[in-house]
Amino acid sequence: MEIITSKFKKLADFCYELFGEAGLMLHNSKFSNKLYTQYQHLFLMVYKQFRKFTYKELLEDLSDNITLRAYLGLNKLPDYTTLIKFAKRLPTNIFDKLMAAFSKIIEQPEKVAIDGTGISLDNASPHYCKRIGKAYKKRPFLKLSVIVEIKHYLILQFKIRKKTRHDVIDAYPMVKKLAKNYEPEIFYGDRGYDAEKLFKIVFEELGAYPLILQKRLDVPKHRRKGRYRKETIEAFDYGEYLQRNKVETAFSILKRKFGFSIKSRDVKTQKVEAMSRIIAYNIDRMLEAGKQVILIFIRITRVSY
């Protein structure tokens, strides 16, 4: 139990420093009742992902963990509905700030890969629902698109959608955001990202080489469309392109450690839970790496928020 407590103290230290690095305010509004800080609420959202709890289970766990409560300065635990309301009104741009804060504490990536996966919205699978005669939605999952640094499997950018969209539509804003903080050398992508506009953005704005697998490799260069697609087709290194598969490893780690499904019911809270999971995933990767940069990032003297 002492090992677990120590781990989550380190998690609390890292979270609070990350929130400060992102420039987040202690209270989101001057009209706040000041009972709890935004830092405390955000930490509980991340901690919830580590423990794979529902909101009720989270607070039941904290009620027994007096040491962690004291460390967080929680003299009184909030009701589980308070956390749900916090998730519903939380601006999603806060997670953009947190992802940007990661860029200040990790080394510049040389190679990044883009891909998408689905996160289930119900613990019961569609096959199980069909067998028992229970109705289920046509699209019972969130679509998560990410750009991953393939050396340490850190997620650098993400996009979450509930509705059906083509992969490349989400890729454009993700690459533009990535270009503000990172300068990778190679950008990997599968056939779903074969679009001249994306090639151009990767070349000109990101400054990376787009190692994106193009459709119809049997089509000769002179019959292909797009300046950048033509420039890269002859020099395409399929052996190097196979590094793209490492993004699947990141998805595997994310789902095995933090769960395959989202337990929230409301669309906004579903997305907030997925975003919190990504923040928790990145912190977990960095804490497990045990790099010197993390020791520098977490101050020797913990600041009281």
Mind listing the pLDDT tens digit for each residue in 121-169? Answer: 876 666 777 788 777 665 578 999 999 999 999 999 999 998 888 999 9
Residues 132 and 82 in one domain: no
Q: What is the pTM of this model?
A: 0.87
Reported as a pLDDT band with limits 50, 70 and 90, residue 97 is: very high
Alpha-carbon gap, residue 258 to 264, rounded angstroms: 14
Residues 128 and 233 in one domain: yes
The DSSP secondary-structure symbol of 235 reads T
pLDDT in tens, 63-95: 888 888 888 888 889 999 999 999 999 998 999
Q: Is residue 257 part of a domain?
A: no
Whether residue 295 is predicted with pLDDT greater than 50 in this model: the reply is no
Question: Mean per-residue pLDDT for 273-291?
Answer: 88
Amino acid occupying residue 287? L
Whether residue 248 is predicted with pLDDT greater than 70 in this model: the reply is yes
Reported as a pLDDT band with limits 50, 70 and 90, residue 293 is: very low
Residues 165 and 44 in one domain: no
Residues 129 and 243 in one domain: yes
Q: Is residue 235 part of a domain?
A: yes
Helix axes 267-289, 246-258, angle to 10 degrees: 110
Whether residue 298 is predicted with pLDDT greater than 70 in this model: the reply is no
Per-residue b/e over 220-244, b at no fewer than 16 CB within 10 Å? eeeeeebebbbebeeeeeeeebeeb
Q: Is residue 120 part of a domain?
A: yes
Question: Mean per-residue pLDDT for 268-281?
Answer: 95
Whether residue 300 is predicted with pLDDT greater than 50 in this model: the reply is no
CATH of the domain at 218: 3.30.420
Q: Is residue 285 part of a domain?
A: yes
pLDDT for res 123: 62
Whether residue 1 is predicted with pLDDT greater than 90 in this model: the reply is no
Per-residue b/e over 286-296, b at no fewer than 16 CB within 10 Å? bbeeeeeebee
On whether the CB atoms of residues 92 and 284 are closer than 8 A, the answer is: no
Amino acid occupying residue 270? Q
Whether residue 196 is predicted with pLDDT greater than 80 in this model: the reply is yes
Whether residue 297 is predicted with pLDDT greater than 80 in this model: the reply is no
Reported as a pLDDT band with limits 50, 70 and 90, residue 29 is: confident
Residues 158 and 204 in one domain: yes
Whether residue 30 is predicted with pLDDT greater than 80 in this model: the reply is no
Question: Mean per-residue pLDDT for 105-109?
Answer: 90
Q: Is residue 246 part of a domain?
A: yes
pLDDT for res 288: 81
Residues 219 and 271 in one domain: no
Is the model more confident about 302 or about 113? 113
Residues 81 and 187 in one domain: no
Full domain range(s) for residue 28: 2-90+262-297
* Four-residue CA torsion sign, 196, 198, 203, 204: positive
pLDDT for res 136: 65
Q: What is the count of structural domains for the chain?
A: 2
